[in-house]
Structure 1
Amino acid sequence: MSAEELAVEPVAAARRLLGATLWSGAVGARIVEVEAYGGDPAGPWHDPAAHSGRGRTPRNAVMFGPPGHLYVYFSYGMHTCVNVTSGPDGVASAVLIRAAEIIAGHETVRERRPAARTDAALARGPGNVGSALGISLRDYGIDLFDPRAPIRLELGTPITDPSAIGIGPRVGVSLAADRPWRLWLIDSPAVSAYRRSPRAPRAEKSA
């Protein structure tokens, strides 16, 4: 398993990350919910909802690099959100980790997430993923496939059963709000609830 498996279009990369394990020290988290994000107008997957949607900046530069690196950012001044870069080197895209199941290091995570009432809630929601794994802005750009890295990604076996995966619009984005780029494992209790942004245009109803 290598980062080259993520050098694909955003939704394919998101699908590949479902069921993968993200390790941060002794804490392991099985990824159960993701959102795909594309890039700038010059690339093949223009996505106005992505941080890279308007072009390269110091903040989003890692999204334009090779796949399999950590892109982290601060959301609402309080949450560290965790993303894995995807697509070929030079083309911006990344996958947001929206939810995970903790499979190792439960006691450590419970200390980090005392407000979580159940184990299923320990890493439910993108901000909680970052808190549960102890990831900070200092971890920006880490190569997740470097065996010496403090944060590592194990892709595992691809999930090939389409009935095991839910597909729907992304949460909380006001642009490209109906793009079905959120994927999740249907049988996981850790998956977060869908919330449409109040700033998004009203979804069109099918005839």
Structure 2
Amino acid sequence: MTALVFPGQGSQAVGMAADALAASPLAADLFAQADAALADSGLPRPLSQLCAEGPEAELRATEIAQPALLAAGYIYYRLAADRIAAPGCAAGHSLGEYTALVAAEVLDFTTALRLVRRRGELMRDAAATQPGTMAAIIGLDDDVVEALCAAAPDVAVPANFNSPGQVVVSGSAAGVAAVVAEAKAAGGRAMPLRVAGAFHSPLMADAAAQMADELARVELRPAQLPVVQNVTAQ
């Protein structure tokens, strides 16, 4: 079975989709749609220019990286669609689930761009009011990492079960630091993530509540292929 899997935040890079923009009328048209959809959203420059030229510091900002990644991911999918055997499902890592929903025609492209632009703004604001961080814990069983999080002196939760032996934890700086220290003492390894906040943790609760209000106003269409959800893996 062929699966479509779309990347999440952290995968952005200056120049992404610039080759497609220069060579493909379809890519140019989709980028034009993206630029028009976000023209009044407060971006410092058109999204197509931010993807192609950066600078990296701006492209890395949560509220810019999210629509940029969705646009680039969907454009590459559309360019490759006629060479992909009928996909059996779509999925995405965090933000990438929105791209998967566009590929499955649950959301239209421009609506999804506006949603993830707003999602990025809400996550940015939540991180500013309740700062935090994330780290990948490698080489320990899931239940061990869960126990370390539960015992942490401040907010720390398992945020992403990426694969057997790799769990991303998220929370306050003190909480994550405590989990990292205990994980190393237990024989695991830890890799701090270059993120702007404690994503997928209780510190994002305000952003999640406001995003739920945004989603309640959006029409979701029947999926044209199954989308595997991040929360349940179903």
TM-score, scaled relative to structure 2: 0.25
Query: Whose radius of gyration is greater, 1 or 2?
Result: 2
Higher strand share: 1
Looking at secondary structure, tell me which structure has more helix per residue. Answer: 2
TM-score by length of 1: 0.27
